[in-house]
Amino acid sequence: MDNKNPHSADAAALGFLYQAQYALLRLWNETSDDAVVFLETLDDVVLKVNGETILEQLKHSLSEKPPAITLASLNLWKTLKAWIDVLSELDLSRTWLHLVAVAEISPTSPLQVLVTEDQSRESLVLALQEEARRVVRERTEAEAKGETPLPHAQRAAACEAFLKLSDELQGEILSRARIKPGQKNIAQLEDELAGALTTVLAKDRAHVAAIMVEWWNRQIVHAHCGKRDKAIRRFELVKRHMEIVGDIENDALIDYFATGIPPESYRSHPMVANQINLVGGTNAELRRAITNEWRARETRSRWTNENPLRRELIASYDDRLTEEWSDRHIDMCDECDGHSEDAKKEEGRKLLKWSHYQAPNDLESIAQSITTPSYVRGSYQVLSISGRVGWHPDYRTLLELEE
């Protein structure tokens, strides 16, 4: 399955993930807890800190050696166009404009002056004007000859927009601009974050970084879905970092998948559906059972990979869940003795509903740090696969499970 789908959106998806993880690293490396980051507002990443705004246009590449940035680079002109388009919303005197690229700048390019803030931009303004005029001139000449398509189609709008600006405004934009070349790509950013966690023991840095990225990605999704503010503040990140480190030091359990959604490729064990079908469960009940079964399964796997000794804790809690279920199942079987199959299904479905709605409240949590109901809900579905629990009074007989 390694063949490339010509319609794949991998590059766009990686670009968005790159923006998110770059923003995380960018915010972490700030020193002010008042710093705040936004994604895809005025620019790919917008950072506000100490009364100043930093717009960052990100150009990602997984290539081992992406083409160097030159005066003719499409990425350069796309970036200039993006900044020109939002000029009316900016106070340039308090704004910095950054082009962040995995690629390097051509060593002979006049763009080298944008690596720092203190070099004169005068020669660069002239070079950009000359390049923009060349693009416009070649398009005009080609149009006069009836040529199609016209050259430089992807840069034309940016070049025209740049030339429409006054020389003074062109210079002002470039005085606030910087290029940050040679940045890490998406495959390297998490390691870069781990390396920046200097207050964490070296053996724990990769683990802490992974959990921070998971939390951060969830915040990004919630921000874009309207479930939280689009502004993510550094103190939130620092607070979560401290919680993660504290949990690790105390060997506290973390419910990593409490709100996770199974991948489309996930297929639960057939026994989950078999158990629910025995009591006439609905498709909605089956879907949520599968979702919570996946969450619990992934959580158990993560916990035991982090610390194999947790297997005993998980097994002990499974015994507790089974005991609580058993009391109810025995009572249900007694009450259903001699009743019709429909009556047995109805009572069994009530027990299924109990495992989803009431059980998380009726039972103590596996740990104080686990406060969401998904682990209890999902664990009951995991236990139903082996037949340790079931919903129908006669589930063991009907499913031909050995005693």
93 lies in some domain: yes
Considering the domain architecture, whether residues 190 and 274 belong to the same structural domain is answered as: no
Q: What is the mean pLDDT of residues 176-190?
A: 96
94 lies in some domain: yes
261 lies in some domain: no
Domain final position from 194, 217, 250: 194
Q: What is the mean pLDDT of residues 130-152?
A: 96
- Does 268 have pLDDT greater than 70? yes
Domain count along the chain:
2
Cβ neighbours for 278, distance < 8 A, ≥ 6 positions apart: 345, 348, 390, 391, 392, 395, 398, 399
Q: What is the mean pLDDT of residues 372-376?
A: 96
Which pLDDT band, with edges at 50, 70 and 90, does 6 fall under? Answer: very low
23 lies in some domain: yes
Write out the DSSP string of 157-217: HHHHHHHHS-HHHHHHHHHTEEEE-S---HHHHHHHHHHH-TTS-GGGHHHHHHHHHHHHH
Q: Is the peptide bond before 270 cis (omega within 30 degrees of 0)?
A: no
Q: What is the mean pLDDT of residues 324-343?
A: 96
pLDDT the model gives residue 1? 41
Structural domain harbouring 378: 270-398
Beta strands in 82-175 (DSSP E): 95-101
Considering the domain architecture, whether residues 164 and 303 belong to the same structural domain is answered as: no
Cβ neighbours for 234, distance < 8 A, ≥ 6 positions apart: 27, 28, 30, 32, 33, 34, 35, 36, 37
Note the pLDDT tens digit of each residue in 340-351.
Answer: 999 999 999 999
- Does 221 have pLDDT greater than 60? yes
pLDDT exceeding 90 applies to what percent of the chain? Answer: 82
What is the C-alpha to C-alpha distance for residues 171 and 121, in angstroms, rounded to an integer? 7
Considering the domain architecture, whether residues 182 and 316 belong to the same structural domain is answered as: no
Cβ neighbours for 139, distance < 8 A, ≥ 6 positions apart: 150, 151, 152, 156
- Does 15 have pLDDT greater than 90? no
Look up residue 297 and give its two tokens.
Answer: 């399964």
Helix (H) or strand (E) holding 38: strand 36-39
Domain final position from 194, 225, 256: 194
Model's pTM, two decimal places? 0.71
pLDDT the model gives residue 196? 96
285 lies in some domain: yes
133 lies in some domain: yes
pLDDT exceeding 70 applies to what percent of the chain? Answer: 98
What is the C-alpha to C-alpha distance for residues 38 and 62, in angstroms, rounded to an integer? 24
Least confident of 107-116, 241-250, 310-319: 241-250
pLDDT the model gives residue 313? 93
pLDDT the model gives residue 284? 96
Domain final position from 166, 194, 222: 194
Look up residue 135 and give its two tokens.
Answer: 């693009």
Amino acid at the residue 331:
D
Considering the domain architecture, whether residues 162 and 306 belong to the same structural domain is answered as: no
Cβ neighbours for 371, distance < 8 A, ≥ 6 positions apart: 255, 365
Considering the domain architecture, whether residues 307 and 182 belong to the same structural domain is answered as: no
